[in-house]
Chains A and B, each alone.
Chain A
């Protein structure tokens, strides 16, 4: 049981480049989310999904795109990277039916630097 797997762990991009951050979970969780974590700021929600084919915007969605074609995978696309997108990105998932425990399982993160 791997939990939530994020790849790559580190990435350096040039301004204007595009890339996809991968996220996969093997717990059959319906709910998945992407957060970014910046120094001095709390984790901020970028996009989320409540199931395959269903996505919605979070607090800071601009410059990012998501899709969810399977329960397991929830990739995050950076359309045209900007230095302001330098951050650590976390993917998280949760079991929809686990009412007693709303806690998310987080991946280990992708550290992205845009130069």
Chain B
């Protein structure tokens, strides 16, 4: 069974204090790994798709990396507006393009 585990559950940072969020996954052949950001009371907002081990993608203060067993979302010099829940999801090769398996997320709070 495909599984996604995110850690930590919650993370509190000071503005400018860099850190990383972890997404460990078990899947029978990875088609893609996705990162989303979710603000309170809103739907998830797409950030990145990673397809193969060694791949990296960047967007402003965020950089996502992928290995064969996990992905990291690195946050460099975060600002209070980066506070949100970050969700990781995987899509397996042997399932349809519709079937994403999500983790429970990491709640990030960045204090000024």
Taking a contact as CB atoms closer than 8 A, the residue among A4, A45, A105 that contacts B99 in the complex is A45
Interface residues of A in 12-44 (CB under 8 A from B): 31, 33, 35, 40-44
Interface residues of B in 57-105 (CB under 8 A from A): 87, 89, 91, 96-105
CB-CB < 8 A to A90: which residues of B? 43-44
Known A103-B34, A108-B43; contact A42-B4, beta-carbon cutoff 8 A: yes
Number of cross-chain contacts by CB at 8 Å: 65
Interface residues of A in 76-115 (CB under 8 A from B): 90, 92, 101-109
Known A31-B97, A48-B98, A102-B34; contact A42-B104, beta-carbon cutoff 8 A: yes
Contact B42 A102 (CB under 8 A): no
Contact B98 A33 (CB under 8 A): yes
Whether a CB of chain A sits under 8 angstroms from the CB of B55 is no
Interface residues on B, range: 20 to 34
Query: In angstroms, how far is the closest chain B Cβ from the Cβ of A1?
Result: 15
Interface residues on A, range: 20 to 34
Whether a CB of chain B sits under 8 angstroms from the CB of A58 is yes
Q: How far is the CA of A58 from the CA of B96 in the complex (A)?
A: 10
Contact A107 B43 (CB under 8 A): yes
CB-CB < 8 A to B104: which residues of A? 40-42
**Other 4 A-B pairs with CB < 8 A, given A102-B97, A106-B36, A106-B45:** A40-B104, A48-B99, A92-B43, A101-B49
A-B contact pairs, 13 of them (CB 8 A): A4-B43, A31-B97, A35-B102, A42-B4, A42-B101, A42-B103, A42-B104, A48-B98, A50-B97, A90-B44, A92-B43, A102-B32, A104-B100
